[in-house]
């Protein structure tokens, strides 16, 4: 169907309205004849499944059966049909809440089963946030499965010679000296690498000339930190500060002396326990060591017993661990009283600016179709191939991170929920604590809801997010039509 502006507005409006009254399993209809018929009647007399929902906070486990029953009874009497249960430590705005029952203790499980049983009796739908506080993470997340930053170090050598010595480790804050206010950053930002789970990604040797620019210089250098996903100093960064440098292309300049891609030597197999054993050829060489550390970012307002590191958002193992240690407990306990959560919620992305993952080279090859290894020095400003080629590599890097976020996290989370027969709610398109997370809002929403490329899964999404997704998909279709 060819979409113009008028049709786009009509379709998105009708879709949003009709979806509001769809039951799970009902198909979407955009036919105009529905307006004024059954749709109008349902609009005037909303069905039971369209009732309002609200948050239900269990602050610091300070709950009991009497309070739970009173809450649910009042919800029912006021016409509320669903709640999103959030377990957190203290209240919002810094209010201090006395300690109640500990999350996942036997006493807490009994209270949770009681709440689920009473909610079912009253016909109230219960969704549950998939962590204590936010975002995903907990004591079960080990450093290797947490959010990561890439780091690089360099060493100049002149050949020929036989080099057999330790390579310098990167500075733990190299490129992140202005980082400010990710969760708990003061406790981990300056720790030595041995406490930050440093791991190597690759080691390459690049030949250099003594004249000309083999590194980005001048005005172009001012865009490097944004293009390499390291401009985040805080979540207060303005959009133009993040986006303008990214979309401004690097133009080849006459005094550039780029390093040919086919002259770069992959030394990764020669690095053993930090020691490089390499017969250096004649000439001037720079060794670039690329690795990664945990960001150290932790959950916010989490109960102490469920606090811990945030997950790796770019590897499905992170969300799988969260489901195993958090989600399954909720499913198993609810099953004991003959019910289950209606959905799990993946709250907004408010983490410590991750930009790497241990499987980045594998993922890069999968999404972009080529080996990123010889291009990694571009992250430190080396010109590989040309300034234009280097810029295109950085664009591929950012797209790969966005693809990992969509596929490894949001798509896998949806799969895990659907395998259990429950729905999904998330804030996949934002908000984000990070300005340069390279998050593709349209793709993350699509992967979270309509992974099969159709509207087949939409009814399994909670309605507010579903409406947002449908309108965004219509907008993307309209844009694609204009591009064609």
- Its CATH class, for the domain covering 5-140+299-355+401-483, is alpha beta
Taking only the tens of pLDDT, the chain with its 484 residues reads: 455 555 555 555 555 555 544 555 555 444 444 555 787 887 777 777 788 899 999 999 999 999 999 999 999 999 899 999 999 998 777 788 899 999 999 999 999 999 999 999 999 999 999 999 888 999 999 999 999 999 999 999 999 999 999 999 999 888 887 776 677 777 888 888 989 999 999 999 999 987 878 999 989 999 998 899 887 656 677 778 777 888 899 999 999 999 999 999 999 999 999 999 999 999 999 999 999 999 888 898 999 999 999 999 999 999 999 999 999 999 999 999 999 999 999 987 878 788 999 999 999 999 999 999 999 999 999 999 999 999 999 999 999 999 999 999 999 999 999 999 999 988 877 666 666 677 888 888 887 765 433 333 333 344 333 333 333 333 333 333 333 3
Indicate the DSSP class of residue 298. B
Residues 294 and 137 sit within 8 Å (Cβ to Cβ)? no
Q: Give the span between the Cα atoms of 477 and 484, in whole angstroms.
A: 11
Which residues on adjacent β-strands are paired with residue 132? Answer: 87
Instruction: Answer yes or no: pTM beyond 0.75.
Output: yes
Residue 12 confidence (pLDDT): 54
What pLDDT does 233 receive?
58
Helix runs in 178-310, H state only: 224-227, 239-247
Check if the beta carbon of residue 175 is closer than 8 Å to that of residue 381.
Answer: no
The pLDDT of residue 439 is 80
d(CA 229, CA 245): 11
What is the model's pLDDT at position 427? 82
Domain extents in the chain: 5-140+299-355+401-483, 143-297+357-396
The half-sphere exposure of 278 on its side-chain side, counting CA atoms within 13 A, is: 27
Residue 188: the pLDDT is: 83
In angstroms, the first-to-last Cα distance of the chain is: 13
Instruction: Give the ranges where 221-368 is alpha helix by DSSP (H).
Output: 224-227, 239-247, 316-322, 328-335, 360-368
Cβ–Cβ < 8 Å for 425, 462: yes
Instruction: Give me the pLDDT at residue 464, please.
Output: 39
pLDDT score, position 448 = 72
Confidence at residue 467, expressed as pLDDT on a 0 to 100 scale: 35
Q: Specify the DSSP class assigned to residue 380.
A: G
Q: What are the DSSP calls for 136-162, one per residue?
A: SEETT--GGGB-EEEEEEEEEEEEEEE
């Amino acid at each position: 169907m060819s979409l113009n502006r008028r049709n786009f507005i009509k379709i998105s409006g009708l879709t949003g309205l009709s979806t509001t009254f769809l039951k799970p399993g009902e198909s979407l209809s955009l036919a105009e004849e529905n307006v004024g018929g059954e749709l109008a009647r349902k609009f005037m007399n909303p069905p039971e499944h369209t009732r309002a929902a609200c948050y239900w906070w269990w602050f610091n486990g300070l709950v009991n059966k009497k309070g739970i029953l009173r809450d649910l009874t009042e919800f029912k009497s006021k016409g509320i049909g669903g709640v999103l249960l959030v377990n957190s430590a203290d209240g919002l705005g810094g209010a201090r809440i006395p300690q109640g029952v500990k999350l996942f203790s036997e006493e807490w499980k009994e209270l949770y089963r009681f709440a689920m049983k009473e909610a079912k009796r009253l016909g109230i739908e219960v969704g549950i946030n998939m962590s204590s506080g936010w975002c995903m993470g907990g004591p079960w997340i080990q450093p290797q499965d947490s959010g990561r930053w890439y780091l690089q170090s360099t060493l100049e050598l002149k050949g020929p010679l036989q080099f057999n010595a330790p390579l310098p480790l990167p500075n733990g804050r190299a490129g992140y000296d202005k980082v400010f206010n990710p969760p708990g950053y003061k406790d981990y930002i300056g720790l030595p690498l041995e406490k930050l789970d440093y791991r190597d990604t690759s080691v390459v040797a690049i030949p250099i000339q003594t004249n000309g620019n083999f590194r980005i210089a001048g005005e172009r250098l001012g865009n490097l930190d944004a293009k390499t996903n390291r401009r985040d100093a805080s979540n207060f960064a303005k959009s133009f500060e993040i986006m303008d440098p990214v979309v401004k292309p690097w133009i080849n300049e006459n005094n550039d002396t780029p390093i040919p891609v086919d002259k770069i030597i992959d030394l990764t197999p020669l690095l053993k326990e930090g020691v490089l054993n390499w017969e250096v050829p004649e000439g001037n060489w720079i060794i670039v060591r690329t690795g990664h550390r945990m960001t150290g970012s932790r959950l916010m307002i989490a109960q102490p017993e469920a606090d811990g590191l945030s997950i790796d958002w770019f590897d499905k193992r992170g969300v799988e661990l969260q489901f195993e240690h958090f989600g399954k407990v909720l499913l198993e306990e609810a099953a004991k009283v003959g019910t289950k959560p209606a959905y799990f919620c993946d709250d907004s992305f408010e983490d410590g600016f991750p930009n790497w993952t241990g499987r980045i080279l594998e993922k890069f090859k999968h999404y972009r179709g080529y080996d990123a290894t010889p291009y990694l020095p571009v992250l430190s400003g080396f010109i590989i191939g040309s300034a234009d080629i280097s810029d295109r590599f950085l664009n591929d890097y950012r797209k790969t991170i966005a693809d990992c976020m969509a596929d490894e996290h949001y798509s896998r989370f949806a799969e895990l929920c659907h395998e259990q027969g429950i729905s999904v709610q998330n804030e996949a398109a934002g908000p984000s604590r990070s300005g340069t997370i390279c998050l593709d809002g349209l793709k993350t929403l699509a992967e979270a809801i309509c992974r099969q490329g159709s509207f087949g899964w939409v009814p399994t999404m909670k309605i507010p997010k579903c409406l947002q997704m449908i309108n965004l998909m219509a907008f993307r279709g309209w844009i694609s039509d204009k591009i064609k």
